[in-house]
Amino acid sequence: MKIKYDSDADVLILVLRDMPPIDAIEEPGGVIVSYGEDGEPVSVEFINASTRQLIRPDEVSVTLQTKST
């Protein structure tokens, strides 16, 4: 997974898979989910991320937790 932030557009993007999207659905609250040709999510975009306090452009910290088997 990749995490991108476009400060000019104030959009936080979670890229779940490296696959081109063929469809997208805008959910309430400024969330856009893009889907690949297999119908599975490819990315999730959060519009107005900093104004919604989802991200602070000057202070970005990411923690990934994996499940051990």
pLDDT given for residue 52 in this prediction: 79
pLDDT given for residue 7 in this prediction: 83
pLDDT at residue 9 above 60?
Answer: yes
pLDDT given for residue 4 in this prediction: 86
Whether 56 contacts 50, CB under 8 Å: yes
From its phi and psi, is residue 30 left (phi > 0), alpha (psi between -120 and 50) or beta? left
Please give the model's pTM, rounded to 2 decimal places: 0.75
Whether 25 contacts 36, CB under 8 Å: no
Q: How does pLDDT run across 12-66, given as a tens digit for each residue?
A: 899 999 999 999 999 988 999 999 999 999 999 999 988 877 766 666 655 655 6
Report the candidate in 53, 52, 62 with the shortest Cα–Cα distance to residue 4: 62
